Structures are given as structure tokens and as C-alpha cells.
Amino acid sequence: MSTKTPDIIYTIVDEAPELARGSLLPIVRSFAKAADITIETRDISVAGRILAVFPEYLTEDQRISDDLAELGELVKTPEANVIKLPNISASMPQLNATIKELRAQGYMVPEYPANAASDEEKSVQKRYDAIKGSAVNPVLREGNSDRRSAKAVKEYAKANPHRMGEWVSDSKTHVASMSGNDFFANEVSATITAAQAGGAKITFTDATGTQSVLKDGLSYKEGTVVDATFMSAKALRAYIKDQIASVEPGVLFSAHLKATMMKVSDPILFGHFVSVYLEDFLAKHGETVKALGFNPNGGLGGLEDKIKGNADLEADYKAAMAAKPPLYMVNSDKGITNLHVPSDVIIDASMPAVIRAGGKGWGPDGKEADTKCCIPDNCYAGIYDETIEYFKETGKLDVTTCGAVSNVGLMAQKAEEYGSHPTTFEIPANGTIRIVLDNGDVLHEQTVEAGDIWRSSSANKAPIEDWVKLGIARTKVTGKAAFWLDATRAHDAQIIKAVKPILAAEGIDIPIMAPREATRFTLEEMRKGNDVVTISGNVLRDYLTDLFPILELGTSAKMLSVVKLMQGGGMFETGAGGTAPKHMDQVFEENHLRWDSLGEFCALGESFNFFAEARDKPAAAVLGAAVDIATQKLLENGKSPQGRAGKDDNRTSHYWFARYWAEALAVQTEDAALAEHFGKVAKALADGEEAILSEMLGAEGKPVDLGGYYHADPAKVEAVMRPSATLNAIIG
């Protein structure tokens, strides 16, 4: 590792974006080198993160550095310039699959201890729990979020509308949420005063008065907004039971959660859905399947694996499933249901997909049907409910005329629920939970019952202020905007107190609306063709930056996603979506990667432009401007990846991107040396067109072996992702 901060850092990630990186990065490196800009990589993949934290289980040559820890420090410096690709936020089944694969490859990392007893097992479990779920993004996101579509991308989408399902007014699709006793209803919140600033702990006192410390060593600065809330397990289970019982004939049942990002609370919620849905089966076989190692939080997929081959259990399971309403399917061809694995149904992607389809999900029979969408907690469910009601009233959105919805999200320093992993607990017994400050104040106190899911979130003052200012700045260039804050919600009421004085000081009037009202406002404005900024908290940032792009552009993968780091650096995320596991299946089956790197092109342009400014390097700006031209040309000429083998895919789109990029550099007049160099590159790429495309497309249609899924063999990936000797020679 060099001691000097690298010019630009690219992340090594997982699944489809990682394969795509294998093709694109050599091109980017070669182009950057011509301007004397170096690009290094850092590994934040789930496999890489596991290897980094278990050195004592590995041989000397298997050990790798803890790149996430290093990046976590780098993003706090003004030199940071990171291109961040989406990575897996591993659910338990994904974590276990990665461990299994690594061990099969001879990396003898420990198994995940289901019931950690010894000190060693506890240490192993703790390390794995820190890798699980959303463990990368909160560390790297030392700035607030600015997500929008580049003008060229939006114009292209308007001119080339994607398919949208029809909405009809009598659609039975609807959102169902709890009637109370959820995180929304139980929330309390306070802003830390000067006298309260300092250390804190979370204690639990059971009915006998015995006190235990759930979390020690917390520390709050003045101005931090600290919440506490819980969801009643009893109320949750009663709600799920009611919802299962009230599914109308012909309608599918589905749950929409974020078990990856809310890695402690939502897997428990998911587990309740699984165990209530399977109630009859578990009443009969609960002990047996528990002994087989079944944990409802891992989903039906785990149960199916465990009972495979046991005819009695399989028959009873089938009968129990058949007695319940049909489940919304993730993949009806493969029998993968909504309750199969917690990481397969991620609300930010799943709800917009239902809405884009006109309120339809896939049923077990492989046909589309209306769907009951269970979103237990009321904090954010209203945005989907309102969107669905709006489309029922007004019909589907016209993609060719609608405005662009962008987002400014409060995200820095693990703001809000995103940072609540270490302060979320499944309550062991009836009792009282308290946040006790070092000055003696009890900040929050709540009476809870066994099984309740309690969590505390916080948001620091500096990120809140930075977010309000970013929101104002984006509003000034966009026009329409609203703060998505609900004055009747405890947390939001505290945030509103911080927002109002800044708006007054800046002399600007931006409306503050509760999420449901803001949803309606945004949909109405965008339908009129107006661009709108949604200024929201962290969870809504996540939800809204999938919802609106998926409606407007068909996907959130094409979004520009800038994180202006608070210490002056820049992080450029590639799109607003995830790692598209479905795309991997297609690569394995027929060597076609339909992953679209458009978000990465957008990030790349921004990264070069930022580098030019931060390091006073005009050549970087020349590269950046040419990236934008190449991206636009790629869209205009229809060179984005297609769905089927034999058609353009990720690799051919990279060839076209390289060619248009080189052509744009060849004709620019700001940097003669770059123009001369890229004139030759552009000619070689044009001359090589036929050979390159046939080398790339000729390899498609057959299954491939990558030597692994989570920890693929780099040589095999290179062979698959860089199949054109002609292109490789030009890129050199």
C-alpha cells in the first residue's frame, strides 16, 4: 500500500457491479493514466471483509488488509475521492453462504456460531455481526446525500419511455400497516442540551428490579437528536395474523421490509411474518424443525433445505402453505417466495417494482395479480400507500412528460435509523428500558414486553445543518421542493426545530410536509412536468431514490449519487440501486451481463471533475467533460446493455463507452497532448470494432465458471469480463 493518498479509489464489491468493474476499470485506468491520474482499489466485498477480520484463521498469504477501516478514515479527509459501487449488505443466509464458499476454497474462516458460548465463539460472532447487514455504507457515508438524474439521462428516458403497467381505479393492491404500538406510535425524542452532552448508557430493568446494561460507552454531543422507540411483538403478530386472514381471493400476500439495512430490527420482523404464516405447521412441528436448526428469521428457504427428504414434514409443509393465501413471488419459476430469504425482498426496490407494474406482483402460478403489501411500521409506509392511492385515482404516470424528482438526504455520520444497529435490542423480558446520561438525567424511559423490538437512533447537529443547507442549495437550482418531516412524529418534531431557524436565516421559504402530504405534492408537481427536490431523512432518502427513479427512468441504476463529504472530500456512488443478484444467474447460465454501468459513468465524470478542482488538475476536468459526452452518445445510440444473450451487454457497452470517450477527448481543444493521444486510441477502437464486438458476443450463450460467487477467481473473472484480445491490446 502506498503512503500517499491515491488520486482516486475504486471499490471492489460483489455480484453484478463487481463483474462489471472487471471490464470497466482497466479502461478507466488506461484513460486516467494518460492524464497522470492513478486509480487504486480497496476491497469492501462481503468476502473481503470476512477475510480481513479473521487473519488468525488464515495462512500468511491468504491474509488481506482491512480496507473498509482504511476507507472509513480516508473519507474523513479532504483528499478523499472514492467511487463507491453498490455492495452486498449481507443477510444471515448470504453471510453463511459466503463463509461456506470461502471454506470450500481453503480459507478456513470460522463457521458462524449459532449459539455462541465460549469467549472465542463470542468473539467470532461479534466480528461476523459487524460484517452483517448494512455495514459498509454507514461507515463510508461521511456526508449527506445528493441523488438526481443527469439531464441527458432524464431526457433520454422521456424520449424512450420504459414499460409501465396500467393502473385501474378498482385495483385491489394496497398497503396495510399496524394500527398502533409500532415504531411510529411509540417514538420519543429529545435534543441533547449542553448540560447533557457526554456519555450515556442503555439499561434494562426487569420486573424483579434486576438491572442490566444493554449498551455502554455511548456519547452524545450537544444538539444531537436522540430517539427511542419500540414495536410491540404482540401487536405485530396480531396484525400479521389479521392481514393473512383478510387477503381477498385472487390477491397475493406480501411483506416489504429492509432486513439488510435495518439489520437488527427487520430480520426479527421478517421472522414474525414467517412464523405467523407457518403457524399451523410450527404448532405441530416447531420443536422438530428447531432441532434441525430452523430459525424463522432466515426465511422459508432455510426450512425447505432442512426438511428436504423428510416426506412427512414436506407434505405437512406443503399443506400448511396451501391453506394460506398465495404469496407474492420473488421468482415464480424457481419457487422463491416473498418469505424465502430476508434479503430477497428489499422494500426500496420491491415496492416501486409493484407500483411500476400497475400494482401487480407475480403469484405462485407465474401470473400477475393484485397484492396486499404489508409494511408494519407507519413511519414511512404512508408514502407507498399514498402513491398507490394517487395512481388508482389518476392512472399511470406519463414518463414522456413528467418532471425529475431528486433527493437531498440526511445521511452523514450514521444519521437516524441507519446508525441504530448497535442500539437495537430484542427485549428479553417484561421491564423498563432507559437511556441514562452521565449527568444523571434519564433521557428516555419506556415500558416494554418480552420480544418487543426496541431501538434508539440519533442524528448529529453538524450533519443536520449541512443537510438543510444542501437542501436549500438544490432547491435554488431546481425550483420546487419540500422537507419531508411530520410535525406529529417525535423525531421529526425535533428536526423541524433545527430546520426552521436555518431557513429563516437564509431567507428562504421551503414547505415542511408530512411524508404522505409530501408524496402527493411531489407526484402532482412531477406530473405537471416540474422538477422537484425531496429533502428527507435517511430512510426516506433510501426509499425515495428508488421509488421516483424507478417510475421515471425504469431503474434507479442510472442515478447520479453524490456524497459531498463533510471534511471536504468526495464520494461518488454509482446509481441508487443494489448489486442485482438476478443478473448473476444469467451470467452463469449464458455468459450475458445485463448490468448497466450508467450510474458508474455518471459517478466517474463527477469524480474527475471533483479531482480537477480539489487538486487543481485541469486535465482531469477534460477527462470528466468527455465522460459526460460519451455517456450521452451511448444513450443516444442505444448502446446500453440489453436483456438477452447475443445482444449488447455490459462488456459491449463498455467498448462503446471507451470509444465515445476517446473520440470526445480527441476533438477537444483544451489539452493538446490528450487530444493527440486519444486521437490514436479512438482510431484503433473504430478500426477494431468488428473484431472487438465479435470477440465479445461470440463468447455469449454458454455457461461460465467464475470459480466462486462471493469470492470468485480473479483470473477467471478477467477471462470472462475481458474476452476481447483486440480491446485489451488497445487499452494495454
Ligand X SMILES: O=C(O)CCC(=O)C(=O)O
Ligand Y SMILES: NC(=O)C1=CN([C@@H]2O[C@H](COP(=O)(O)OP(=O)(O)OC[C@H]3O[C@@H](n4cnc5c(N)ncnc54)[C@H](OP(=O)(O)O)[C@@H]3O)[C@@H](O)[C@H]2O)C=CC1
Closest distance of CB 352 from ligand X, Å: 12
Q: 87 touches which of ligand Y, ligand X, Mg ion, none (CB within 5 to 8 A by kind)?
A: ligand Y
One symbol per residue from 37 to 76: x for binding ligand Y (CB under 6 A), - otherwise; what is it? ----------------------------------------
CA distance 363 to 345: 15
Q: Are 453 and 417 in contact (CB under 8 A)?
A: no
Among 89, 98, 420, 522, binds ligand Y (CB under 6 A): 89
137 binding ligand X? (CB under 6 A): yes
CB of 344 to ligand Y, least distance (A): 7
Site pattern 545..564 for ligand X (x: CB under 6 A): x-------------------
Among ligand X, Mg ion, ligand Y, none, what does residue 712 contact (CB within 5–8 Å per kind)? none
Is the Cβ of residue 271 or residue 431 nearer to ligand Y in the bound state? 271
581 binds, among Mg ion, ligand X, ligand Y, none (CB under 5 to 8 A by kind): ligand Y
579 makes contact, choosing from ligand Y, Mg ion, ligand X, none, with CB < 5 to 8 Å by partner type, with ligand Y
Closer to ligand Y at the Cβ: 257 or 327? Answer: 257
CA torsion sign for 16, 17, 22, 24 is positive
The C-alpha cell at 65 is 488488509
Q: Are 351 and 381 in contact (CB under 8 A)?
A: no
Distances (CA, A) of 447 to 83, 191, 200, 272: 45, 21, 19, 21
3-class SS string, 542-591 = HHHHHHHHHHHCCCCCCCEEEEEECCCCEEEEECCCCCCHHHHHHHHHHC
* Candidate segments 435-443, 469-477, 571-579, 616-624, binder of ligand Y by CB under 6 A: 571-579
Rounded to 5 degrees, φ, ψ at 387 are -60, -45
- Is residue 580 a contact point for ligand Y (CB under 6 A)? yes
Residue 596 binding partner per list Mg ion, ligand X, ligand Y, none, with a CB distance cut-off of 5 to 8 Å that depends on partner kind: ligand Y
Determine whether 643 is exposed, middle or buried from the number of CB atoms within 10 Å of its CB (0-12, 13-18, 19+).
Answer: exposed
Distance from C-alpha of 467 to C-alpha of 495, rounded to nearest angstrom: 11
Q: Which stretch binds Mg ion (CB under 5 A): 280-288, 316-324, 432-440, 538-546?
A: 538-546
Taking CB under 5 A as the rule, does residue 466 contact Mg ion? no
At residue 424, the 3 state secondary structure works out as strand
Location of C-alpha cell 397475493:
252
Cβ 680 vs Cβ 638: under 8 Å: no
Minimum distance from CB of 656 to Mg ion (Å)? 28
Q: How many whole angstroms separate alpha carbon 96 and alpha carbon 301?
A: 13
Residue pair 493/189 in contact by the 8 Å Cβ criterion:
yes
What residues pair up with 454 in beta bridges, in sequence order?
Answer: 230, 425
Residue 450 φ/ψ, nearest 5 degrees: -50, 135
Q: Which residue stretch of 84-92, 144-152, 175-183, 442-450 sits at the interface with ligand Y (rule: CB under 6 A)?
A: 84-92
89 near ligand X, rule: CB under 6 A: yes
Position 695 contacts Mg ion (CB under 5 A): no
Provide the 3-class DSSP secondary structure of residue 516.
helix
By the rule CB under 6 A, 723 interacts with ligand Y:
no
Beta strands in 395-505 (DSSP E): 405-409, 424-426, 431-437, 442-448, 453-455, 458-459, 480-484
**Quick one: 255 or 623, whose CB is closer to ligand X?**
255
User: Which set of grid coordinates corresponds to residue 497?
Assistant: 426545530
CB closer to ligand X, 127 vs 421:
421
Among residues 80, 261, 485, 674, the one that binds ligand X under rule CB under 6 A: 261
Interface residue with ligand Y among 578, 624, 688, 723 (CB under 6 A) is 578
Residues 584-623, one symbol each (x = binds ligand Y by CB under 6 A, - = not), give -----------xx---------------------------
Q: How far is the CB of 58 from ligand Y (least distance, A)?
A: 25
Which of 558, 663, 575, 674 has the alpha carbon at shortest distance from 620? 674
Instruction: Report if residue 343 touches ligand X, rule: CB under 6 A.
Output: no
Chain residues 340-399 in contact with Mg ion, contact rule CB under 5 A? 348
Matching residue, cell 456512488: 573
The DSSP letter of residue 454 is: E
182 Cα distance to chain centroid? 24
Total interface residues for ligand Y by CB under 6 A: 21
Q: Which of 497, 528, 582, 680 binds ligand Y (CB under 6 A)?
A: 582
- Report in angstroms how near the CB of residue 330 gets to ligand X at its nearest: 17
To the nearest whole angstrom, how small is the minimum distance from the Cβ of residue 417 to ligand Y?
15
Q: Kindly determine how many residues on this chain lie close enough to bind ligand X according to the rule CB under 6 A.
A: 9
346 binds ligand Y (CB under 6 A): yes
Binding-site string for ligand Y from residue 291 to residue 330, where x marks contact by CB under 6 A and - marks none: ----------------------------------------
Buried b (16+ CB within 10 A) or exposed e, 553-574: bbbbbbbbbbbbbbeebbbbbb
End-to-end CA distance of the chain: 23
**How far apart are CB 85 and ligand X at their closest, in Å?**
12
Q: Can you give the binding site for ligand X, defined by CB under 6 A?
A: 89, 134, 137, 260-261, 348, 542, 545, 576
Q: Can you give the binding site for ligand Y, defined by CB under 6 A?
A: 86-89, 137, 260, 343, 346, 349, 555, 557, 575, 577-583, 595-596
